[in-house]
A and B are shown apart, each in its own frame.
Chain A
């Protein structure tokens, strides 16, 4: 079956450093990927997405990289700020029209 997982369940970074959160997926047919941020007491919030015809996509302070060869996805956060502290989820879609599968999440802690 399809699964999405994360290599690191927790990540601590110094304020101002760059953060990299990783995600592995198992379904080679996955064609659409999303990163979500979840703060305490809130629902997951959309950060950035990428489709399988792209290798990289940039947003404001965030970059998503997709390596289809090894079925790996990463989220890079530049100049990490205290407000970036949250749990980050990746989600993948098996094929068009299918639902997303969410990974277990990585907790990002920003140290002062």
Chain B
């Protein structure tokens, strides 16, 4: 299994509070992703990173910010949590394949269940 951990694994918070989720990898992969998974939807990309300090928005980035100060850590912050951000959050990592010029498969973390009351 790829070395990806997420913390916390479960969190209950109140509307309006800030929340930070952490993704940590030991694989030294360049690309890191944050997704959310909700009933009736496929996994949706929130933000991604293609290197230290290099990040970009995904499909559902409103209300979220990210930071990547080290290769191994990718942080997702909800500045002021809302009930619509109740979800399961997955981190994933990937690497560039120099031979094919494309990206290799993505490896997923165990997920964080967030409940915003």
Chain A complexes with chain B: no
Q: What is A's interface to B at a CB cutoff of 8 Å?
A: none
Q: What is B's interface to A at a CB cutoff of 8 Å?
A: none
